[in-house]
Structure 1
Amino acid sequence: MYSHPHSHTGARIKRLRLERHLTQRALADLSGVPYSTLTKTEQGVIAASPHVIACVARALRVEVGTVTGQPYVDELRADELDVLILPIREALDVYDLGPDPEITPRPWPLLRADAYKLLLGVRAGEVKQAASQVAGLIQEVTTAAHLTGSTDGWQTLASTYRTAYDVAAKLGYGDLAAIALSRMDWAAVNASDALIGGMYRYMRALTYLRSGQYRTGDRLIARGLSVLEQADAGREREAVTGQLHLGAAVLAGRAKDAARAEGHLAEAERIAGRTGEAVDVHRLSFGPTNVAVHRVSVLAELDEYDRAARTGRAVTLPQDWPASRKSHHYTDLARAQMWTGDLDASFQNLLRARKAAPQQAKYHPTVRETYAGLESAKRRLPDTFLSYGNWLGF
């Protein structure tokens, strides 16, 4: 391997294990990860799956980011992204102070347009641009919302908090993402908006998915479905409901509960049959395509990599589908193909993930783990492979 010998996730797991004075056998028993899987992961022979990472993190009582190495500070600094985090943190912290006397907010149509533009930017994979603008917009909209107290104002503020969550989550700042979510919920309550309340619980459930707390994630999904019953019936409510079922399916897949995962996928598919492609409904990208790509994700979480790869190859992404979602699908497909030994196809999908949304792909832990898995295979790979690793910071 030509990457730094102590930079891969397996090496971090070993270091953390030794700090806890645990043998490999003891950690395997504590985490529920098979002994052979743990030893090969520590050695860098196989990539660390999200399930293994979450199980090990919980057993060692550390954050998932501590195991994955997030946030990737050196790369963030090189890309001048690290300096954008503190302003977002400060903007999220003044939510309850009322209007700022030094801010004169612009008219609501302009604020709404900017909030929508930032959401679209994140969907297009323009993470840096959104990160550079969201803090100032949060402060301006916070003042405007407090001054008017209107439902529309609180909804717009919730939108800016959602963008802050997306930026923080994509750059690996889990604590900041959690704060942004709590602010989103606060704004949703002020707006009395059940749809935003349902989306908040969906997004919060994903944070528990990453940390391996599947039961808590399931409880949040159930609560979200209950909150959505308070919203007006219609396509919007159905799309958000369907997205909650997709989140529940991935949770069940990572928990290795195939039957429950299939049940949620089937329900989401039924709903998508009624809504059609509802890509613009609250920017959730819900619809038949999203159900199809989530099926690939679920199969990969169930370690059914052959089926995931076959299913993924059959998925046709619409030309106008959001770049961030395209990149995520290519990442999932690359992971499945890496585990099946289809190394060339896997790397091609890593390239597609990068092309679709480069800033997102660069900081996605699954991209890095898949690249490490391809590297450890020690087979002949294209000349572009080394440059890809350099781009990632390996």
Structure 2
Amino acid sequence: MDEAERARRIGERVRSHRRQRGMSLRQLAGLAGCSVGFLSMVENGKRLLDRSSLIAAFAEVLQVSPAELTGQPHPPADPHATAAHEAIPALRLALMGLNPVVVPQGRSAQPPEVLAGRVAQANRLYHAAEYGTLTAALPALLADLHTAAEMERGRGWRRMLRLLADAYHPACTLLLKNLGYTDLAFIAVSRAAEVIAELEDPVYSALSGFFQTHVLMAAGSPTQALARARSAVDELERNLVTPAAHALLGELHLISATSITLDKRRPGRAREVEVGGHLAEAAKLAARTGETRAWHLNFGPTNVGIHKVSLNTDLGLHTAAVEAAARVHPGLLDAPGRQAAFHSDLGRSLAHVRGREAEAVAALLEAEQIAPQRVHAGALVRETVGFLLDRQLPSHVARDLRGLAHRMGLVI
């Protein structure tokens, strides 16, 4: 095929996908970062679209795989994921206690209010699934918090310790659930446990158990994870003195239920009963607390509902998961990561309900729109996308699915 013929075919594909999306020349050109004149020449076959950056830009805006435009494979690239992984060496040093940040001699510690704001921002970045930005920010934040804790041995010392614990926890969940560095997550949790031990606060000790449970689940030991969660529940039930403590107890019931779903050695019906029991306890606590952001988490009726969808999905009760989803309104949470988790799990269940595969793809695309970094890193979502790629789907649904698969690095 000569260059003129290739340009004509690519131009036709670009025009066809643009019209299917209901976009004007000006809209597509603006979103892709090129001139209207250039796009017009591409669509009319007068200019060959051969720059990988522009091919990727058009494909991203049109929500298709680049191969849908060029007819040829095109290596996927996720700059956000790349940025997160590139920042890992500095974060590793920070977790090892080797400060990767050069601190000028004589520098004083930042004011507690400034550090508290940075810790809150780190947790917001985690819940917004901005993993690249968060990973880059954590090494300096941890270094500055340790500096402040070492310098502050007066009344503000305990506050610094609490801030340190609150900073280690997004580091743990980021490394564990989203980037796959289980060993580094274990170090983060261990560092947090050391800090919390100095606080001698039973509620914070239960929080430490909550995050240790996450690590044990990821390490492939749901039995130990459940035992650690139960220990934290027992400790916390003796110290339910604040609404925040009730919210944490609810989270512990939710993670206990998650641990049980992962334990394949338990009989299926027994697992369902135990999971249901923990969900019921969490629902009672959520009715008492309402929607909260205690401990930089998102406990409340909405998050309990989101867990009901995910837990039924993991148990293989896909129809029940879809029915539960109809009663959940994830937009009530100011947490894009949790919203994306809801749509991802709904998509995973819909993929296994006969005749609802197109809805499954729509749900997965909705999740990606909300929090692309979370969705692209999700192993279970990747499995579902691979499963759907082998199904017979309407042409427009298959096209959208191939675009998602490309952005996840599953196909080129």
TM class by smaller structure: 0.7 to 0.9
Q: Which has the higher contact order (CA 8 A, sep 6+)?
A: 1
1:1-394 mapped onto 2 (5 Å cutoff): 79-94=82-97, 102=105, 104-149=108-153, 150-169=157-176, 170-229=178-237, 231=239, 233-255=241-263, 256=268, 257-278=271-292, 280-341=293-354, 342-380=356-394, 381-394=397-410
- TM-score, scaled relative to structure 2: 0.73
Contact conserved, 1:125 with 1:356, CA < 8 A, in 2?
no
Instruction: Give unmatched runs, 5+ long, in structure 2.
Output: 1-75
The CA distance in 2 between the partners of 1:230 and 1:155, in whole Å, is: 21
The CA distance in 2 between the partners of 1:78 and 1:208, in whole Å, is: 24
Q: Which amino acid aligns with 1:312?
A: A
Contact conserved, 1:293 with 1:315, CA < 8 A, in 2?
yes
The 1:168/1:191 distance shift into structure 2, 3 A limit, reads: same
The CA distance in 2 between the partners of 1:181 and 1:295, in whole Å, is: 26
The 1:276/1:339 distance shift into structure 2, 3 A limit, reads: same
**Residue by residue, what CA displacement relative to the aligned partner does 1:222-248 show, whole Å, maximum 9, x if unpaired?**
111133246461201000001100111
The CA distance in 2 between the partners of 1:204 and 1:272, in whole Å, is: 23
**Residue by residue, what CA displacement relative to the aligned partner does 1:18-58 show, whole Å, maximum 9, x if unpaired?**
xxxxxxxxxxxxxxxxxxxxxxxxxxxxxxxxxxxxxxxxx
Q: Which has the larger radius of gyration?
A: 2
The CA distance in 2 between the partners of 1:122 and 1:212, in whole Å, is: 23
Q: Which amino acid aligns with 1:160?
A: A
The CA distance in 2 between the partners of 1:129 and 1:323, in whole Å, is: 15
The CA distance in 2 between the partners of 1:391 and 1:299, in whole Å, is: 27
Q: CA RMSD in A?
A: 2.3
The 1:223/1:95 distance shift into structure 2, 3 A limit, reads: farther
The CA distance in 1 between the partners of 2:98 and 2:237, in whole Å, is: 28
**Residue by residue, what CA displacement relative to the aligned partner does 1:193-224 show, whole Å, maximum 9, x if unpaired?**
33332122122212333344221011111111
Q: Tell me by how many angstroms 1:391 deviates.
A: 0.8
**Residue by residue, what CA displacement relative to the aligned partner does 1:278-332 show, whole Å, maximum 9, x if unpaired?**
1x11122111111111111221122111111221133122444311111111111
Q: Which amino acid aligns with 1:366?
A: L
Aligned with 2:147: secondary structure? helix
Contact conserved, 2:222 with 2:260, CA < 8 A, in 1?
yes
The CA distance in 2 between the partners of 1:292 and 1:178, in whole Å, is: 29
Identity percentage of aligned residues: 25
The CA distance in 2 between the partners of 1:76 and 1:82, in whole Å, is: 10
Instruction: Give unmatched runs, 5+ long, in structure 1.
Output: 1-72
Q: Tell me by how many angstroms 1:371 deviates.
A: 0.7
Aligned with 2:351: secondary structure? helix
Aligned with 1:379: secondary structure? coil
Aligned with 2:129: secondary structure? coil
1:14 corresponds to:
none
The CA distance in 1 between the partners of 2:131 and 2:342, in whole Å, is: 18
Q: Which amino acid aligns with 2:364?
A: L
- TM-score, scaled relative to structure 1: 0.76
Q: Tell me by how many angstroms 1:267 deviates.
A: 0.8
Contact conserved, 1:206 with 1:217, CA < 8 A, in 2?
yes
The 1:254/1:167 distance shift into structure 2, 3 A limit, reads: closer
The CA distance in 1 between the partners of 2:232 and 2:294, in whole Å, is: 17
The 1:373/1:313 distance shift into structure 2, 3 A limit, reads: farther
